[in-house]
Amino acid sequence: MSITAPKINDIDPLTALKSYLSRELEAVDKVIAQNLESPVFLIPTLGRHLIFAGGKRLRPLLTLACHRLFKETADTTTGLAAAVEFIHTATLLHDDVVDESKLRRTLPTANAVWGNQASVLVGDFLFAKSFQLMIETNNFDVLRILANASASISEGEVLQLSLCHNLEAPIEYLLRIIEAKTATLFAAACQVGTLMANQQTHAAPLGNYGQNLGMAFQIVDDILDYCADPAQLGKDVGDDFREGKITLPVLLAYPSCSAAEKEILKRNFIEMNQKPNDFSIVLEILQKHHSFTKAYKLAQSFGDKAYEALQPLPSHPLKDLLSDLIKHCLIRKF
């Protein structure tokens, strides 16, 4: 199966998915708001700043959708979907501190407004809240899957630190980071929604779908950091470059670069001696060596695997929407 971009006037699959699950998604937002309450004023203030700043809610949507594939409602899964969003938000708060980011979802990052200490501590609070919500499911398998995913995300962060300033790292190393930081939570979100519907036999295929969707999603994100319209991206274009973060497009270009081009990349990503016009220069190098095309083809291959994972599932409107979501993740903001 080869994924092709839908026509420009096609319905946005993410919007369609949100519409289909609007009642459940509204209930998730209520659970989130309730669990952000605290007598410590900074916790709800900082938490709401990010959580209600217009995020996609993609991960909780996956949990709800995978439940609704088999049940008429997902009412019993709203708390779990909120837990998934809390895990994701906690990692964003911590990521922005580590990366010293200044903009997310078109707004100043929490660390830019309230400082690193507050962001880290509120992130810890959200992690703790997520586990409280998990326990309420009374499902050990759900707790195990999300606990493992949380540990994997932390491992991915540390792995990424070890990749810093290594332009000769194997591509497989970077794919492992993407898997740990992003794809594992996508997979877990799908699996736990399925398990809460008592559909153990479908948990593995839907987990496989989420895993490959997450890989495709993050690879496209890495491309967009160099190519997107900043107003659409919701954060500064070139953040990865300015932070010296070696992402897939850079790693794919480096082996075929000339000696002079390699020196430019080393100066920007290893020595962190960046000059005003260097982003444009590096962008030209990456384009010259077709690294965005190579990265996009890899994202498409993961999208194909996600599509294949859905095929054994019974027919359902949500199955079609989950299939369309793959295409949406591959073409968003290009």
Using the predicted structure, report yes or no on whether residue 98 has a pLDDT greater than 50: yes
Q: How many domains does the chain have?
A: 1
Using the predicted structure, report yes or no on whether residue 106 has a pLDDT greater than 90: no
pLDDT of res. 231: 58
For residue 224, is it within any domain? yes
Question: Average pLDDT of the chain?
Answer: 90
- Each as own residue / partner, the long-range contacts of residues 20-27 (CB below 8 Å, 24 or more positions apart, any chain) are 20/65, 20/68, 20/317, 20/318, 20/321, 21/61, 21/64, 21/65, 21/68, 21/74, 24/64, 24/68, 24/73, 24/74, 24/75, 24/77, 24/78, 24/81, 25/57, 25/60, 25/61, 25/64, 27/75, 27/78
As a whole number of angstroms, the distance between CA 22 and CA 44 comes to: 24
With tokens 């000769």, the residue in question is 168
Note the pLDDT tens digit of each residue in 149-170.
999 999 998 988 887 778 999 9
Q: What is the pTM of this model?
A: 0.92
For residue 4, is it within any domain? no
For residue 140, is it within any domain? yes
* Whole-Å CA distances, 232 to 6, 65, 82, 235, 236: 19, 26, 25, 8, 10
The whole-angstrom distance between residue 182's C-alpha and the CA centroid of its chain comes to: 5
The whole-angstrom distance between residue 328's C-alpha and the CA centroid of its chain comes to: 14
Percent of the chain with pLDDT over 70: 93
User: Is the distance from CB of 216 to CB of 204 less than 8 angstroms?
Assistant: no
> Smallest Cα–Cα separation from 78: which of 34, 19, 39?
34
Give the sign of the dihedral formed by CA 189, CA 191, CA 192, CA 196.
positive
DSSP states along 69-90: TTSS--GGGHHHHHHHHHHHHH
Segment 80-97 mean pLDDT: 94
For residue 42, give the CATH number of its domain.
Answer: 1.10.600.10
- Domain enclosing residue 154, as ranges: 13-319
Note the pLDDT tens digit of each residue in 17-73.
999 999 999 999 999 999 999 999 999 999 999 888 777 899 999 999 999 999 988
As a whole number of angstroms, the distance between CA 307 and CA 265 comes to: 36
For residue 325, is it within any domain? no
pLDDT of res. 239: 85
Segment 298-322 mean pLDDT: 96
Query: pLDDT grade, residue 8 (50/70/90)?
Result: very low
pLDDT of res. 102: 82
Segment 229-257 mean pLDDT: 83
For residue 326, is it within any domain? no
For residue 3, is it within any domain? no
**Residue of 312 and 75 predicted with greater confidence:** 312
Q: What are the tokens at 166?
A: 């290594």
Note the pLDDT tens digit of each residue in 201-214.
999 999 999 999 99
pLDDT of res. 9: 38
For residue 123, is it within any domain? yes
Beta strands in the chain (DSSP E): 103-104, 107-108
Neighbours of 319 (CB within 10 A): 16
Tally of residues, the chain: 334
For residue 68, is it within any domain? yes
